[in-house]
Amino acid sequence: MGRAAISSTNSQFVFPRWANYLLPGLLLALAVAVIYVPVVVGYGLAPQALAVGYRPIQPVPYSHALHAGELGIDCRYCHNTVDKAPFAALPPTQTCMNCHSMIKTDSPKLALVRQSYATGMPIHWIRVHDLAGYVYFNHAIHVNKGIGCVTCHGRVDKMDVVAQVKPLSMGWCLDCHRAPEKYLRPRDQVTNMTWDPVADAGKDQLTLGLELKRKYNIPDATFMTSCSTCHR
């Protein structure tokens, strides 16, 4: 049919001259796509984009910057199972009332805390850090082997509302498990948010880290990176 149409008018279809752009244009587009698509997928689907920066609004305007930062309450005062159990317990309302039965006793910001204390209904804190269900994580071993909270949770003592600042991806875990000496610190400094190897221990991180790695009997990379350590 098309053929008939062409022959009937006896004119050939002539591409416009700009059609010469098509081939180089296509090649250029391909070259751009080869860079563009991996960049978008790589950066866009990375945990830094999808997981980092999660900061839910909590039911009580509780501030770590005030309690842990300004008032200097140790993390373990509230998260008191962190060095004994896999799970770092969130404090029961009773713990808040230790102080708030005497301080800010009629602050509206604490209404929910008082109500929870009176009724026995727990405060429904919203979970910030949440690994996938197929990963086994254990706080106690990390804290007892000298990994500071700040290494995995950032400067919590400066956050009014807790946010996730580390990717918590497998690559991130492995980066440390391959060479924990990059992050090790003395056991009694784990809740110290401002610990610095040079200022506080007088050694650079690697020297100190290797020393502590021996002292704390941390297994070699083969064990630390074997799949069954974390997927069990």
Partner 1 sequence: MSGYQDEKLPIPTPRRLKKEFLLPGLPSPAKRILAILAALALVPLVLIWHARVSYTTEPRIQLMQDMGVQPRYGPQAPSPVYADGRAMRLPVAGTVARETYAPDDHFDRGYRLVKDPKTGQWKVDFFTDLPPQVAMSHWTLNRGRTVFNIYCAVCHGLDARGDGMINQRATELQEPKWIPPANLTQIDPQTGQLQFGPQEYPDGKLFNTITHGIRNMPAYGPQIETADRWAVVAYVRALQLAQHATLDDVPSEQRGNLR
What 8-state DSSP symbol labels residue 67?
A: I
Label residue 198 left, alpha or beta by phi (over 0 means left) and psi (-120 to 50 means alpha). Answer: alpha
Residue 73 vs 210, nearer CB to ligand HEC: 73
CB of 89 to ligand HEC, least distance (A): 7
Torsion over CA: 5, 6, 9, 10 (sign): negative
Residues 120-149, one symbol each (x = binds ligand HEC by CB under 6 A, - = not), give -----x-xxxxxx--xxxxx-xxx-x-x-x
Q: Report the 10 Å Cβ neighbour count for 156.
A: 18
Q: Please, which residue, 25 or 92, has the CB nearer to ligand HEC?
A: 92
Q: Which amino acid is at 34?
A: V
**Least distance from ligand HEC to the Cβ atom of residue 212, Å:** 9
Q: Tokens for 198?
A: 């040079």
- Is the CB of 163 or the CB of 224 nearer to partner 1? 163
* CA–CA separation, 203 and 207 (whole Å): 7
List binders of ligand HEC among 196-225 (CB under 6 A).
Answer: 218-219, 225
Burial of 111 (0-12, 13-18, 19+ CB in 10 A): exposed
CB nearer to partner 1: pick between 168 and 184: 168
- How many residues make contact with ligand HEC (CB under 6 A)? 73
43 binds, among partner 1, ligand HEC, none (CB under 5 to 8 A by kind): partner 1
CA distances from 188 to 143, 147, 177 (A): 9, 10, 21
Q: Is 118 in the site for ligand HEC (CB under 6 A)?
A: no
Residue closer to ligand HEC by CB (options 3, 127) is 127
Report helix, strand or coil for 125. Answer: coil
Give the count of beta carbons closer than 10 Å to the beta carbon of residue 20. 10
Tokens encoding 131:
């690994």
Q: Under the criterion CB under 6 A, does residue 183 sit at the interface with ligand HEC?
A: yes
**73 lies in the binding site for ligand HEC (CB under 6 A):** yes
Site residues for partner 1 per CB under 8 A = 16-18, 20-21, 36, 39-40, 43-45, 47-57, 70-74, 76-77, 80, 87, 89-90, 92, 94-95, 97-99, 101-105, 120-122, 124, 130, 132-134, 163-164, 188
